[in-house]
Chains A and B, each alone.
Chain A
């Protein structure tokens, strides 16, 4: 089966006064249709920028995609011009943003904002679009959906706004939905509602979802596969069980260790990763994680490890010493 999405050697740079920020460095991976992919990493690791690059939403200047191909359904998105790209956005790929407070336009009604995408991409009358918008709001579980189409965003609570955003994202039945930290601004009980909703919708509608987050807990409940990113590169990728149970990369091991677990004995100290992520203006020559890694050897400082497949499994890791470390790491 050909994959739905194939990204090859994507590189994004920001040319700033202080120098070149190497935000995305040689990212390559594939996604199948109907797959839920979790992209995990800390702030500044390039997880959002790589998704924006796919959609050609990087502001130029200062941002520029310097290399790479993004194949969606047999089409390289990076070769499309703005007009062609507009047809892809919203119809083939839709995006939900982190902050539902700021990503909805406060001066237009919710109904207007949902019908906008419908009218742009489909051959619909206003009446039909409005009916469809009502159905969509109902689908995402907003009570009294039809009556709320004429409400403005400030009349919705945070969780409801995020539901409305999801309704907008789904309006044209995209093949791929990119959710960029969609629950980070929400409370845990509301977050649980949204995760539950997205899972149900994915089962019903069957689109692929890319869920970008810094929270390893959220994707554990949701994703099929995980990409772990660090300083603009994917450092480990695999099926969800590989990542959580057979963790190979020292950064992923550290990240999982730094989360308190509900079955910890009292007084256990959290495993913290010393130091800070590297400055993207001055990325080191070798492995980007080397400076913070306790298993570092000479080679790590001079040569960047490639993302290597582990025999016979859908699990790859970018580390020179993963075979030696493997035994020590997984809890």
Chain B
């Protein structure tokens, strides 16, 4: 099925290092390898879920894909065009087709701008529509995301968290993008409100034919919304597959531990579930362990894991994994 689907975004060996804090004025610290060689494709109109724990680099992947961060190395090919080849002006135009929804709806909306000017800002930058046209478009957008179109003159503080997130979504949709990076769009919302926002995102995808990269740490929600899922650990993708495949037949020991750690809202299942409890914490990304970077916590690590980095390869149809133990 995937073969005939068109690739919308191709990410090839993407790296993003941030300079470390300097040790002294003569010696720079180690670079923080936030993203360290990541490759994947996103097909048109699918949702790729990207999961991982704090500091694994998932947000950096999303931001670097839109060239909000300049990649240290690697290519992002959007709709056949390598973003590295674009000049500033062309990049700005390309960005109108790729938008982002941010995690914190309190921090990502300017408190001194009205909802109308927040949602209309992309139109100011990218179009030369008249004021009435813009106003109509903004009201249409508010209607699409389930807000009252008469709210255009209100300020962000007059809205609840869920409503603010809807404003952020309306802003992302203003220019009819093809691709939207959703960076933890629901993690700051209450449970009953999360479902509202997820349902809205799914509706919009169907209606407008959007492609999503859905970044989150809540596995059950990612499973719900995604077609395929990628799991990141310490700057690298360790496993990528169809969502059911990854939930039922995960191959990487980290994925397995992550899946088993998700609390299930069902006491019967919770009792029977085999839990894999990992020891220790995530290592420092400025000083990752040699060999496989999961070797400090891996319950099944063998000699080779401490010496050689495992290759990220396709072991089954559409199932990619980076582990020495997977044959």
Contacts and interface: CB of A to CB of B under 8 A. Distances in A.
B195 A192 contact: no
A214 interface: yes
Given A261-B220, A262-B247, A254 B261 contact: no
Interface string B203-225: 00000000000000101110110
A160 interface: yes
A188 B262 contact: yes
B261 A189 contact: yes
Interface stretch (A17-25, A124-132, A267-275): A267-275
Given A189-B53, A269-B202, A271-B195, A262 B223 contact: yes
Contacts of B195: 257-259, 270-273
A255 B194 CA distance: 10
Interface in A160-216: 160, 187-193, 195-196, 214-216
A139 interface: no
B265 A43 contact: no
B88 interface: no
A157 B192 contact: no
Given A188-B53, A192-B275, A273-B195, A259 B281 contact: no
Contacts of B265: 216-217, 220, 244, 256, 259, 261
A259 B220 CA distance: 8
B53 A220 contact: no
B220 A43 contact: no
A271 B191 CA distance: 11
A42 B224 contact: no
B304 interface: no
B267 interface: yes
B277 A193 contact: yes
A195 B196 CA distance: 29
B258 interface: yes
24 contacts: A42-B192, A188-B261, A190-B281, A191-B263, A192-B277, A220-B266, A221-B270, A258-B194, A259-B265, A260-B221, A260-B224, A261-B264, A262-B220, A262-B264, A264-B224, A268-B224, A269-B202, A270-B195, A270-B199, A272-B199, A273-B192, A273-B196, A274-B196, A277-B190
B298 interface: no
Sort A-B residue pairs by CB-CB distance and give the 10 closest, nearest first: A217-B263, A260-B224, A258-B195, A272-B195, A192-B261, A187-B53, A270-B195, A42-B190, A273-B192, A221-B270
A159 interface: yes
Contacts of A54: none
B162 interface: yes
A214 B264 contact: no
B83 interface: no
Interface of B: 53-54, 160, 162, 190-196, 198-199, 202, 217, 219-221, 223-224, 244, 247, 257-258, 260-268, 270, 275, 277-278, 281-282
Contact of B281 (A157, A214, A257, A262): A157
A160 B281 CA distance: 9
Quick one: which of B270, B275, B278 has the most chain A CB within 10 A?
B270
Contacts of B264: 217, 220-221, 261-262
Contacts of A187: 53-54, 217, 282
Contacts of B275: 192, 196
Contacts of B244: 266
Residues of A in contact with B, size category: 35 or more
B202 A272 contact: no
B192 A254 contact: yes
B194 A189 contact: no
Contacts of B199: 269-270, 272
Interface string A81-124: 00000000000000000000000000000000000000000000
A213 to B, nearest CB: 10
Nearest to A254: B192
Given A216-B265, A217-B264, A262-B264, A188 B258 contact: yes
Contacts of B247: 262
A241 interface: yes
Contacts of A70: none
A191 B198 contact: no
B281 A270 contact: no
A255 B263 contact: no
A43 B277 CA distance: 29
A157 B198 CA distance: 32
B2 to A, nearest CB: 16
Nearest to A213: B263
A220 B261 contact: no
Nearest to A270: B195
A220 B224 contact: no
Given A43-B190, A189-B53, 4 more contacts: A159-B281, A188-B217, A260-B220, A262-B262
A264 B282 CA distance: 31
A229 interface: no
Given A42-B192, A196-B275, A271-B195, A189 B266 contact: no
Contacts of B258: 188-189
Contacts of B223: 260, 262
A43 B224 CA distance: 23
Interface string A214-237: 111110110000000000000000
Contacts of A266: 244
Contacts of A262: 220, 223, 247, 262, 264
Contacts of B53: 187-190
Given A193-B278, A270-B198, A255 B219 contact: no
A1 interface: no
A260 B267 CA distance: 15
Contacts of B267: 220-221, 240-241, 244-245
Quick one: which of B160, B193, B220, B267 has the most chain A CB within 10 A?
B267
Nearest to A43: B190
